[in-house]
Chain A
Amino acid sequence: MNAFIIADNIISPLGFTSSENFDELKKMHTGVKRLEKSTLSNEPVCAAVIDTNKLDAAFQKLSAKQEYTRLEKMVILSINDCLNQNKNIDISNKKTLFIFSSTKGNVDLLDASLASKFDKKRIYLWETANVIAKHFNNPNQALTVSNACISGVLAIILAKRLLEENKYDTIIVSGADILTHFVVSGFQSFKAISNEVAKPYDVKRDGISLGEGCGTVVVSNNKSLAVTLSASSRAESRDEGQASAIIISGGASSNDANHISGPSRTGDGLLLAIEKTLKESNVKASEVNYISGHGTATLYNDDMESLAITDAQLASVPMNSLKSYFGHTLGAAGVIESIIGIHSMRENTLIGTYNFNELGVTKPINIIKNTQKQEVNNCLKTAAGFGGCNAAVFFQKHR
């Protein structure tokens, strides 16, 4: 059995489809802006925020029959685009499962100004997931993962594992988080936010940029659905004949067992997740084409990654971070960044790391500076998060 990617979408400040987002990244345009005044913070802050008017205008076109929260609107738009891309997805089928990945869900409802607009239950992540599933008449109880910044990668790994059990034949994975005063004030209290756009792996990096968004991937055990998609993407792609179906071939999570808010000093937790992932994928380190790193642009995280990547014998593999484009989108990051990896494979194009100038991590690794054309047959996506958690997932072109 294989887990094929049969549709995908990204909702971010850079666009409301995956292709819009990928095109902006190819041009190395960032979605992170300096906001002098906002509801997010009492002081200026750099963040990647979706324009509410644009979001509402897009959502209005769906003629929804009830009120949805900002987060739910993003997810519904994202899934809706996937259903339009691939008409073979039967979301109302008993064999289709919805997996929802989020760290904070509808956390904006904790604010007194919004709390009264929705039922009190709506702040529970399982309820948010069920509201979204119900919008699309999906008959199953949604599965919700909330595991800090590895949530999105974990949700994709889960999709593969659950498909293998044969209870479902299609799994829709959405990762989403909104940017709120709640989240910004918390990271500010940690003094973790840069005053400029984040500079992943750079010698001058000094903290994260936060962001919001949603990513959705639809995964199926049916290759014919994936072939349909690759035929259409081939027509659009400049690399005729290169496009092929993409599978999730392995994935694993691990824990540093070291500190709840600081990354491991040795990178051995992330190394463990990478090694388990490559082993399951039956791939040697020398065969990896591209790494989509976590790259939050904090001093310690990027150093830790350089150690893990080096110990995994991957130091020469081209690697980037997308946090300087989307900001850190928390529970959405793993899904959004995986989708960019998938499009890098489809278009054989590696995205340069915005704002990266000079390598400044403990061990030398191969950070991609400028967007480049290159054959990309596979992608290793890694993530790490609070609670000492790490995860990795591997995508491959299906031969």
Chain B
Amino acid sequence: MVNGTEVYSDSSLPSADFIKSAYKHFQLNYPKFYKMDHLCKLAMVASDLLLKHNPITKKYASEDIAIIIANSASSLEIDTEHQNTISDKNNYFPSPAVFVYTLANILIGEIAIRNSIKGENTFFIFDKFDADFMGSYNNSLLSSNKATCCISGWVEFYENEYEAFLYLVEKEKNELNIEHTSEQLNKLYINQI
């Protein structure tokens, strides 16, 4: 869903395949996508759709755009994969291509690289989407001029369950005209997930 409108669905596919099929459907055309773990792939599709509809990088300086994202399971999906490569001495094959993704903030790095965004970046871990904290922290970044625009939200992928809810916060009103409050964030989160 983008701005409340469904843009693609396929309930027949398992999580990882659905993300790949969405990538193809939208012709996102970013070969690095295939190297990524599931969590980053999910973040990539969600952020591409968000930024395609809102070209903020044309509007704001790259160092003034913040990326503030959270989830619950951190990178546990790929952590388990890395653990499996080292648990048997006779079948020992740790790989840098896997290990590098064993940090959830890599998905912020991937969004930053894809869109040349250089501002504040922080990855938080909560048991569930915390609209109160995310709302007030992004507001404080904007009001203290540490950012002019924030890409924020929730990206989770663990044990075949996934959720991605990304949104933009700007100082100026845009055509959606939604006030940035925790009530609104909760409403959007519940409606979209």
Contact = CB atoms under 8 A, between A and B. Distances in A.
Interface size grouping (class) on chain B: 35 or more
B25 interface: no
Contacts, number: 149
Interface string B81-96: 0110111010010111
B103 A146 contact: yes
Interface size grouping (class) on chain A: 35 or more
A144 B124 contact: yes
B119 A259 contact: no
Contacts of B122: 145, 147, 154, 158, 253
B60 interface: no
A200 interface: no
Contacts of A93: none
Contacts of A385: 105
A132 to B, nearest CB: 13
Interface string A154-170: 10001001001100000
The prevalent SS among residues of B at the interface is mixed
Given A161-B140, A188-B94, A389-B109, A252 B120 contact: yes
Interface stretch (A29-37, A123-131, A292-300): A123-131
A182 B110 CA distance: 23
A374 interface: no
A182 B83 contact: yes
Interface stretch (A106-114, A214-222, A309-317): A106-114
Contacts of A255: 67, 108-109, 112, 117-119, 121
A164 B99 CA distance: 37
Contacts of B108: 147, 255, 387, 389
A127 B127 contact: yes
Interface stretch (B6-14, B72-80, B177-185): B72-80
B118 to A, nearest CB: 5
**What 3 A-B pairs are tightest by C-beta distance, nearest first?**
A387-B109, A186-B99, A144-B125
Interface of B: 62-63, 67, 72-74, 76, 79-80, 82-83, 85-87, 89, 92, 94-96, 99-100, 102-106, 108-110, 112-113, 115-127, 130, 133, 136-137, 140, 144, 146
